Chains A and B, each alone.
Chain A
Amino acid sequence: MHRAWRLTKRRLVASIPVLAIVILGTFLLMELAPGDAVDAYLVSLGGGDSRLADDLRQSYGLDQSALSRLWLYVSSLARLDLGWSIVFNRPILDIVLERLPNTLWLMGAATALAFTLGSLLGILAGAWPGSALDRVLSIGSLTLYAVPGFWLGLVLILVFSVQLRWLPTSGIETIASGKVGIARALDIARHLVLPVASLGFIYLALFLRMMRAGMGEVWRQDFVLAAKAKGLSRRRIVVHHVARNALLPLVTMLGLQAATMLGGSVVIESVFAIPGFGRLAQEAVAGRDAPLLMAVIIVSAVLVIIVNLLVDIAYAWLDPRVGSSEAASR
Chain B
Amino acid sequence: MKPLIRRFVSSPEGVAGALLLLSLVLAAVLGPFILSGDPAALVGRPLLPPFADASFPLGTDQLGRDVLTRLVYGSQASLTVGFASAVVAIVVGTLVGTVAGFAGGLVDEGLMRIVDAFQIVPGFLLALAFVSVAGPSLAVIVLAIGLGAWTGPARLARAEVLSIRERDYVAAARVIGMHPAEIAFREVLPNALPPVLSLVSVIVAAAVLIEAALSFLGLGDPNSVTWGGMIADGRNLLRSAPFLSIIPGLGLVSAVVGIYLFGEGLVEALSIRGRRL
Q: Please tell me which stretch of B26-34, B48-56, B181-189, B234-242 contacts chain A, meaning at least 4 of its Cβ atoms lie within 8 angstroms of it.
A: B234-242
Q: For the complex, count residues of B whose C-beta is within 8 A of A.
A: 43
Q: How far is the CA of A264 from the CA of B127 in the complex (A)?
A: 12
Closest Cβ–Cβ distance, residue B181 to chain A (whole Å): 26
- In the assembly, what is the distance between CA of A228 and CA of B243, in Å? 53
Residues of B within 8 A of A151 (CB): 212, 231, 245, 249, 252-253
B8 within 8 A of A: no
Q: Is the CB of A145 within 8 A of B260?
A: yes
A259 near B133: Cβ-Cβ < 8 Å: no
Specify which of A142, A162, A288 lies most central, judged by the most chain B CB atoms within 10 Å of its CB.
A142
In contact, B253 and A147 (Cβ under 8 angstroms): yes
Report A-chain residues with C-beta under 8 Å of the C-beta of B128.
Answer: 266, 281-282, 285, 293
Residues of A with C-beta under 8 A to B58: none
B4 close to chain A: CB less than 8 A: no
By a CB distance below 8 angstroms, the chain A residues around B174 are none
Give complex CA distance A282, B213 in Å. 11
Interface of A is mostly: helix
Cβ of B237 to closest chain A Cβ, rounded Å = 11
Q: Which of A32, A270, A284, A304 contacts B217 (CB 8 A)?
A: A270
A300–B120 alpha-carbon span in the complex (Å): 8
Asked whether any CB of chain B lies closer than 8 Å to the CB of A301, the reply is yes
Within the assembled complex, what's the spacing in Å between the Cα atoms of A292 and B9?
Answer: 51
User: In the complex the two chains form, is A162's CB within 8 Å of B239's CB?
Assistant: yes
Complex Cα distance A22/B113, Å?
10
23 A-B pairs within 8 Å (CB atoms) are namely: A18-B113, A22-B117, A143-B257, A145-B260, A146-B252, A146-B253, A146-B257, A146-B260, A151-B212, A154-B238, A154-B245, A155-B246, A158-B242, A259-B121, A259-B122, A260-B124, A281-B129, A282-B128, A285-B131, A293-B128, A297-B129, A300-B121, A301-B117
* Contact for B122 among A262, A284, A305, CB less than 8 A: A262
CA distance A143 to B249 in the complex (A): 12
B235 and A154 contact, CB distance less than 8 A: yes
Look across to chain B and name the residue whose beta carbon is closest to the beta carbon of A144: B253
- Say whether A25 contacts B217, CB under 8 Å: no
Option from B129, B133, B246, B253 in Cβ contact (under 8 Å) with A143: B253
Q: Is the CB of B277 within 8 A of A210?
A: yes
